[in-house]
Chains A and B, each alone.
Chain A
Amino acid sequence: MMRLPPYADLLGLVVEHGDDGAPVLMMPFATDVLGRPGFLHGGAISGLMEMAAIVALHRALAGDGGGEIKPINVTVDFMRGGRDKETRSRGVVTRLGTRVANVEATAWQDDPAKPIAAARMNYLIVRRG
């Protein structure tokens, strides 16, 4: 398991493990991630999904020789307001290429089938060796 960076601590992220072993990141509700009163900040939800994507990509890369990653872009859709409760996110690597990886992540609160936000990311991969 990779060590999470200071920004993940700022968000209060906790690593949980899903049914199939894929890591789920949980962000507790706190004033540190609050946007307008009663709702999560969109940037905090985005940050959670980016960390989930990075964790998923590092995991996929670890089984494929390892490497460094650099974010190219991220597109976030906000579907529902995030309320004052725990939020979870999991990243899915949809394609792991030689130089580029496509990763998707969703964030949800009560029901994974009702996401509050979704993100698509492209990462540049610098392979070792």
Chain B
Amino acid sequence: MSGFAGFDPERFFRARIGHGGTLGTEYRAHGADWAELALPYDENLIGNIGTGVIASGPIISLMDMATSMSVWLCADAFVAHATLDLRIDYLRPATPGRTVIGRGECYRLTRSIAFVRGQAHDGDPGDPLAHVAGTFMAPEGYPR
């Protein structure tokens, strides 16, 4: 296994550079097998000029990060891994002006594959705007 034992998502997020930082994603909360991130509304994320609704790409990025962090929490280690696939259903457009909250959960961890799912909402968890399902793979394996 390559990586570090234990995983602190808050610390991990504090030193953010790259795409997550450009999008403006923020840490929100976490548990033993889940992580919650926030994506504040920003005009630079708009995908539909007419309506001001943000593009779907930033929501994929948000959910990719939230589910990836849920795997490290589940494994209790930071392990090099890659997204194998990610499917996202857009249940409704995100409301312009509202922060999107993405929660990722790792519901099954095997020696080399992690199975994840998650939902995104913009204020009411009972009214989700997106649902995701995906898998990650660790070339050198996840700790068991």
Contacts and interface: CB of A to CB of B under 8 A. Distances in A.
Contact of A6 (B19, B45, B60): B45
A115 B44 CA distance: 28
Interface stretch (A15-23, A67-75, A91-99): A67-75
Interface string A1-35: 00101110111000000000000000000011111
Nearest to B55: A7
A5 to B, nearest CB: 5
B90 A6 contact: no
Interface in B74-107: 80, 82-90, 93
A76 B86 contact: yes
B82 A81 contact: yes
B37 to A, nearest CB: 12
Contacts of B87: 73-76
Contacts, number: 113
Most chain B Cβ neighbours within 10 Å, of A6, A7, A31: A7
Contacts of A3: 49
A31 B18 contact: yes
Nearest to A120: B87
Interface of A: 3, 5-7, 9-11, 31-36, 41-44, 46-48, 50-51, 70-78, 81
Given A42-B60, A70-B93, 11 more contacts: A7-B46, A7-B57, A11-B57, A33-B22, A35-B19, A42-B82, A43-B57, A47-B56, A74-B56, A75-B85, A76-B85
| Interface pairs A-B: 8 shortest CB-CB | A43-B61, A47-B57, A34-B18, A41-B19, A7-B55, A75-B87, A32-B22, A46-B60
